[in-house]
Structure 1
Amino acid sequence: MSKVQNKKPLTKKITFRITEEEYDKFQLLFKNAKLNDKRYTTSDFIRNAIFSNNPKFEVIKTKTIIRDRFCKNESLKIYHLNRIGNNINQIAHKLNSNQYDSSILKELNEINSLLRAYL
């Protein structure tokens, strides 16, 4: 991209993830593209790839990655920890307002068993 086209300030940021193999290929393509211009940045390279009519490298199609079971398990753990926190807040509210009875002890035991199950 020529310096004349870059007169407008670059205010928007885009972030994305790639695999190790894609990153290695990207580094190789970027290194080859940078040989002629030492001031050629990664951002310049990506902008050139997206907006140039004649990109200097091959476009690679990628698959969409679906979240694996680990992510689902982590989400489930966070959900349950949030529920435990909610229970603790309810108990604290009852204790602070002197409206507690034997059900408080039952709830505390339930929370204790849930915490032991997750740790």
Structure 2
Amino acid sequence: ELPGPFFPAQVKSISHDLPQLHRLLHVARSLLHNPFLFLGPYARSLSSSVLYCALEPLAASINPLNDHWPLRDYAAMLLGRIFWTHGEAVSGLCQHILLALQRVLADPVRPLCSHYGA
């Protein structure tokens, strides 16, 4: 069984732990780079998890000592990879990603970290 509901549940349950989030994103990267896996059915779920890491004010970002910016950079890089490799193959995926980014950028109440991720 591939990432399906696993990734969204994991990301939200460990949003306070930056090293764990980094590891989870590295697992996502490994899945994306594996030429023997077809992630089409899971691309939307995977992109939602990566969007969460890039856009949401994570519990770990409350503490100024936690450097969450590299996590957001890495998530943005992965999101670009998902967009370009699966965007055309998965119906509505490009629009899903673009609308999520647009909603964050259009919301002046969202914190700087969310705008940075978008």
TM over 0.5: no
State which structure, 1 or 2, has the greater radius of gyration over its C-alpha atoms. Answer: 1
Give the TM-score taking structure 1 as reference length.
0.29
Q: What's the TM-score, normalizing by structure 2?
A: 0.29
**Greater percentage in helix:** 2
Q: Tell me which of the two structures has the higher relative contact order, counting C-alpha pairs closer than 8 angstroms and 6 or more residues apart.
A: 2
